[in-house]
Amino acid sequence: MRLSFKMFTELQSTTLLALRHLPPGELLFLLDFQDYHGFEKSRVPESLYQDALTRLNVRSEDVQVEIVRVARDLTQAVHRHNRSMAIVSILGPKEHLPEAVSARGYLGSTWFRISSGESKLIPPTTPHGFTVRENGILYFLSIQSPPIISGNGEDDYEPLTS
C-alpha cells in the first residue's frame, strides 16, 4: 500500500507530537543507531505512532519510521530510492535533540541549508542527501513508504555519488 500525501503528513504530525511529549533524554535512550550507507539510523518505537497507523488503516509493514543522525560529511552520499517515497522532518530542541548545526540537504540537483523544524517530501527516484560541515550535527525523522528496506531485506538505495 502506498501512502497518500495526507497520510504521510498525518503520520508525521502524530510521530512528532509523540516525540515532543517524551521526557527529555528518553528519546535517545529508546534509539539504537546503526550504520546505513554512512548515515546513522534507528527505528522509532512503533508504540509512538501506532494510533496513527490504526486511524489511517495502514499496516506497520507498509511504512518505515526512523530517526537519522548525521555527524560527518556525507556530501558524497547523494542517492535515491526507486520505489520509496519519504517525508523528512528536521528535528531539534522541540524533540529534546540538538538544534541542526551546519546542516545541508540535497534535493533534485541543489545543496541548501536546512534548519530544525523544516520538512521535505522526497518522491521516488529523486536524488537527495544530507550532510553537515565540521562539528555539525543533524537529526531528522524519516517516514518512508514502502519501506526502504523491504520485509525480505531488499535495500531500495541507489548511490549516485561515491
Q: For residue 162, what pLDDT is reported?
A: 56
d(CA 84, CA 63): 9
d(CA 69, CA 62): 23
What is the pTM for the complete model shown? 0.95
DSSP characters over 95-159: GTSPPPEEEEEEETTEEEE--TT-EEEE-TT--EEEEEEEEEEEEEEEEEES-SB-TT--B--EE
pLDDT digits (tens, 9 = 90+) for 99-137: 999 999 999 999 999 999 999 999 999 999 999 999 999
d(CA 155, CA 62): 15
CATH superfamily name and code, 5-150+155-159 = Jelly Rolls (2.60.120.10)
**104 has which bridge partners?**
113, 131
Element (H, E) at 67: strand 64-70
